[in-house]
Amino acid sequence: MAIAASISSRVIDAVLGQRLAPDARLGEQQLAALFGCSRTVVREAMIDLAGRGIVTVSPRRGWYLTAVTDVFARELYDARLIIETGLLRQLGARGGRLDGAEIARLRAHLDAQHTAVQGADVGRRSHLLGDFHVCLARCLGNGVLAGKLRDLTVLTTLYTMRHQTPGDARRSYEEHVGVVEALAAGDAREAEARMARHLGTWELKTTHARGPDPLEGLRRALAPPAGLPRDHATTP
Amino acid sequence: MAIAASISSRVIDAVLGQRLAPDARLGEQQLAALFGCSRTVVREAMIDLAGRGIVTVSPRRGWYLTAVTDVFARELYDARLIIETGLLRQLGARGGRLDGAEIARLRAHLDAQHTAVQGADVGRRSHLLGDFHVCLARCLGNGVLAGKLRDLTVLTTLYTMRHQTPGDARRSYEEHVGVVEALAAGDAREAEARMARHLGTWELKTTHARGPDPLEGLRRALAPPAGLPRDHATTP
DNA sequence: CCCCGGTTTCTTGTATGCATGATTTGAATA
DNA sequence: TATTCAAATCATGCATACAAGAAACCGGGG
């Protein structure tokens, strides 16, 4: 059964690292061959991932990474905002603060993000920037919400890969630093506000891209080249 | 595959209705016979439930309903508080209010709770009182968090079945009424406060029962009868 | 009476085989 | 050339068979 968990984990890593895009096909046979096990084990992993919303099964057709719709993405961002600010708010309400070891862990994570942001590996960058939120939630002491947040982060990545946001990695990193610094200073309330702003800007970026336009993909792909006359139109 | 979902659903219903207690054994063979399918399908349901934390597998021994520990229960209550108050806070922050249809749905649910609280079916009572929170979350428009909340409610039930709280069903019902009335009046902020108080009292009830006492169950069971002399002690 | 060893039974873990249905391919036809 | 229909292909859905390990059971010895 550890094999199934490993498959799930590898798929999640691949998504976070942007090596797998939404609608990517995950054939049972292929994964079985790749991991040297039978379809039964692959199936367990797929069912697990499906329960977390990361893959979707089309009956008798196959398993695919879920394509996150706009309205669902809105729910995702709402959920993340509620969970992450809620955890920080709770820390503040209880007058608690993170101990040195946890602050150190967060700072180490920030260091990794820093080098990744300066590097060229866009997958690793995305992975670390997303994983920071999970790491923070875990430091805040709630494993249940941390686990859910990991799934939400994966789904968020699946969404942003399509609607490629500006991807201002540097800014995201700096906002992460701001949150950790507030926590290190023992100011949980400020950390909460900064996190709300951090997630809020994301939400805005996607909000302007909303609107019921099911032809978004086609429209973008088939848009006429700007500035060129339609010199090969079929109906003049 | 609909069969597997049905099995999961039936197990969840049984827990919410307190017809299955923690540590209850869920044998693959027995469930297969009961649902008229093969172990393969049962296995899918178990894996799904395991991913949601509702069942736990002991290798080569069997599947059991998870026994929620005290520290984990604390996380559960924290998570519920964050999610439920967060949803209400978000509604207030956006200045929105529930429309008539949703208020009506909540009121209908309250009616069902009312009759159940007065009735004798303790299972149905527990089921409805727990389900109210899920219904509310769904009315608040976030399916992701509503789904997670359902799982958390199941786990909460598994915990309270052991540490039988006073079970003040009437009071719970009245607090639910208070939340819905605030929502009907368009006062999301008040609804949030009432929900926080509602969940807070629960948390208190379990908090006083906390403390690292792994012998709690034994101690309670083997406590000497008050007032009676130990006239049959083995060592006089 | 209690304890210890082997055996038996019962459970899940994994692989495999067949059924079913969706998709694609191909040729025949208007 | 475009279209339609049948057959082949390929994927998952489900059941079953076997392997492996855990717990229970039973007999013998102290």
Q: A212-230: per-residue pLDDT in tens? A: 444 444 444 444 444 344 4
The answer to whether the C-beta of A27 is closer than 7 A to strand D is yes
The answer to whether the C-beta of B39 is closer than 7 A to strand C is yes
Residue contact B145–A90, C-beta within 8 A: no
Asked if B203 has any chain A CB less than 8 Å from its own CB, the reply is no
Q: How confident is the model at residue A110 (pLDDT cuts 50, 70, 90)?
A: very high
Contacts of A2 (CB under 8 A, 6+ apart): none
CB atoms near residue B108 (< 10 Å): 11
Q: Where are the alpha helices (DSSP H) in chain B?
A: 2-16, 28-35, 39-51, 70-93, 100-118, 122-139, 143-162, 169-184, 188-207, 216-221
Residue pLDDT, tens place only, A25-44: 999 999 999 999 999 999 99
What residue spans define the domains of chain A? 2-65, 70-207
Asked if B123 has any chain A CB less than 8 Å from its own CB, the reply is no
Helix axes A122-139, A70-93, angle to 10 degrees: 40
Closest residue, chain B, to A1 (C-alpha) = B59
With CA of A59 and C1' of each nucleotide, the nearest comes out as D12
Residue nearest to nucleotide C15 (CA to C1'): A38
Closest residue, chain B, to A142 (C-alpha) = B75
Q: How confident is the model at residue A167 (pLDDT cuts 50, 70, 90)?
A: low
Question: Which nucleotides of chain C does any protein CB come within 7 A of?
Answer: 11-17, 20-23
Which segments in chain B show pLDDT lower than 50? 208-213, 215-236
Pick the CATH number of A2-65 from 3.30.1600.10, 3.40.1350.10, 3.40.50.1820, 1.10.10.10: 1.10.10.10
Asked if A57 has any chain B CB less than 8 Å from its own CB, the reply is yes
Q: Which residues in window 36-55 of B are less than 7 A from strand D by Cβ?
A: 37-41, 44
Average pLDDT of the residues of chain A: 88
Closest residue, chain B, to A60 (C-alpha) = B1
Ramachandran angles phi, psi of A150, nearest 5°: -60, -45
Which of B47, B59, B144 lies closest to A47 in CB terms?
A: B47
Q: How confident is the model at residue A205 (pLDDT cuts 50, 70, 90)?
A: low
The Cα B185–Cα B150 span in angstroms is 26
What's the farthest any 2 CA atoms get from each other in chain A? 72
Residue pLDDT, tens place only, A114-155: 999 999 999 999 999 999 999 999 999 999 999 999 999 999
B chain contacts of residue A87, beta-carbon cutoff 8 Å = 82
Closest residue, chain B, to A86 (C-alpha) = B82
Q: Tell me, what's the pLDDT at A165?
A: 65
Reduced to 3 states, what is the DSSP secondary structure of residue B65?
strand
A chain contacts of residue B51, beta-carbon cutoff 8 Å = 48, 51-52
Q: Tell me, what's the pLDDT at B163?
A: 79
Q: Which residues in window 20-59 of A are less than 7 A from strand C by Cβ?
A: 37-41, 59
B70-207 architecture in CATH?
A: Up-down Bundle (1.20)
